[in-house]
């Protein structure tokens, strides 16, 4: 129990420090790297809570896809961040409003724990049945049995979103040579070979 508490405080302290550096770092690339570090420590906290599936999803989806993709976008695009920071005061009121709302929600959560201490004593992770080895297997059985149609519907929504993003970003530019497979397959000897009669000694 002492070792588990030590790891909890270690992961929590590093995650809070990395999250602060995400917004404090001046270099956007460093901010993304600190964000990846935050995700790794949050995954460690999920493992301590017994939610290994959430930890795996956090690493695979957010670190492996979102954060790395954002990192490549920041590194490849020439973005003038100095110009973006000039409108900071313009968005300060809405940012302050969102911050106040978040602080009020956190205060409500802490207040519930103080008023009702028995809430914190309840189990935070669902206990799977005896014939299931882990939470991942329990979630898999639940998704592919009771919620299989909702799961497939979510997959179709993501597929439509991906196809829509490709269609919206696809632009045909004029005066650009493109490969037309139908025309290539329809070519015959008459269109593919040109016979030129060259006089003797004159060359082509």
Tens digit of each residue's pLDDT, the chain (204 residues): 688 888 888 889 999 999 999 888 877 778 888 888 998 999 888 888 888 888 888 888 888 877 777 777 777 666 666 666 666 677 788 888 998 998 898 888 777 666 666 655 555 545 555 556 677 777 888 888 888 899 899 999 999 988 988 887 777 667 777 777 888 888 877 777 777 788 877 765
Range of the domain at 17: 1-85
Tally the domains of the chain.
3
pLDDT of residue 118: 62
Query: Is 150:156 a contact under the CB 8 Å cutoff?
Result: no
Task: Identify the CATH number of the domain in which residue 7 sits.
Answer: 1.20.120.1200
Q: Residue length, the chain? A: 204
Query: Is 44:58 a contact under the CB 8 Å cutoff?
Result: no
189 in any annotated domain:
no
CA distance linking residue 118 with residue 112, whole number of Å: 10
187 in any annotated domain:
no
Residues 54 and 100 in one domain: no
Domain boundary among 85, 117, 152: 85
Q: Between the CA of residue 195 and those of 47, 65, 95, 199, 204, what are the distances in Å?
A: 73, 55, 73, 13, 12
**Predicted model pTM:** 0.56
194 in any annotated domain:
no
CA distance linking residue 5 with residue 195, whole number of Å: 84
Q: Kindly report the three-state secondary structure assignment for every residue of the chain.
A: CHHHHHHHHHHHHHHHHHHHHHHHCCCHHHHHHHHHHHHHHHHHHHHHCCCHHHHHHHHHHHHHHHHHHHHHHHHHCCCCHHHHHCCCCCCHHHHHHHHHHHHHHHHHHHHHHHHCHHHCCCCCCCCCCCCCCCHHHHHHHHHCCCCHHHHHHHHHHHHHHHHHHHHHHCCCCCCCCCCCHHHHHCCCHHHHCCCCCCCCCCCC
pLDDT of residue 133: 63
Question: Tokens representing 129?
Answer: 């049945």
Residues 63 and 105 in one domain: no
188 in any annotated domain:
no
202 in any annotated domain:
no
Residues 56 and 111 in one domain: no
CA distance linking residue 31 with residue 24, whole number of Å: 8
User: Could you tell me which of 56, 20, 21 has the C-alpha nearest to residue 40?
Assistant: 56
Residues 26 and 45 in one domain: yes
């Amino acid at each position: 129990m002492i070792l588990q508490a030590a790891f909890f405080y270690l992961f929590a302290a590093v995650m809070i420090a990395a999250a602060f550096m995400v917004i404090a770092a001046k270099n956007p690339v460093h901010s993304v790297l600190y964000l990846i570090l935050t995700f790794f420590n949050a995954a460690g906290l999920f493992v301590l809570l017994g939610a290994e599936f959430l930890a795996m999803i956090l690493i695979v989806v957010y670190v492996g896809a979102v954060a790395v993709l954002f990192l490549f976008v920041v590194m490849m695009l020439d973005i003038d961040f100095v110009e973006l920071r000039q409108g900071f005061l313009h968005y300060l009121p809405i940012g302050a409003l969102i911050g106040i709302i978040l602080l009020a929600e956190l205060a409500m959560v802490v207040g519930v724990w103080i008023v009702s201490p028995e809430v914190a004593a309840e189990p935070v992770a669902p206990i799977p049945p005896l014939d299931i080895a882990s939470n991942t297997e329990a979630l898999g059985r639940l998704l592919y049995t009771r919620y299989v149609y909702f799961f497939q519907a979510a997959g179709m929504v993501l597929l439509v979103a991906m196809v829509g993003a490709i269609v919206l970003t696809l632009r045909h530019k004029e005066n650009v040579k493109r490969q037309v497979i139908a025309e290539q397959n329809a070519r015959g000897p008459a269109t593919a070979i040109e016979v030129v009669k060259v006089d003797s000694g004159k060359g082509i």
